[in-house]
Amino acid sequence: MGNNTEIYQTVLMIPQNEWLLVKAQLRELQNATNLQKENTQKQTQEEEYNKVIPYDEACKFLGIGKQSLIRAKNEGRIKGIRGHCRGYSYRMGDLIQYKKNFGRRQKVA
């Protein structure tokens, strides 16, 4: 038994107008897929920014103590959301903005 290494390729011939129609449909599908991906990314970002973080997690995220977070809220540097049992909570978007504006600088070794 010999080792047959021949490769066959199938050729399909279609009229040019049909081929152009298929290419146009493919392009529309790619555009719709890209648009859907962008919308999904925007929704995910919005959900992340609107996510409510409890007080203790906000301290950990910002790398500050509880009193510093209370002081920042009382001075109006960060907006708190009044909770029903555990004090204030914070939106992730507000925490990210606070960190950009007032966050500590990372030490360079």
Tell me how far apart the alpha carbons of residues 106 and 35 are, in angstroms, rounded to a whole number.
37
pLDDT tens per residue, range 50-74: 888 888 888 898 888 889 888 988 8
pLDDT tens per residue, range 5-37: 888 889 989 999 999 999 999 999 999 999 999
What global pTM score does this model have?
0.54
Residue whose C-alpha is closest to residue 95's, from 57, 40, 65: 57
Cα separation values, 69 from 85, 86, 91, Å: 18, 15, 13
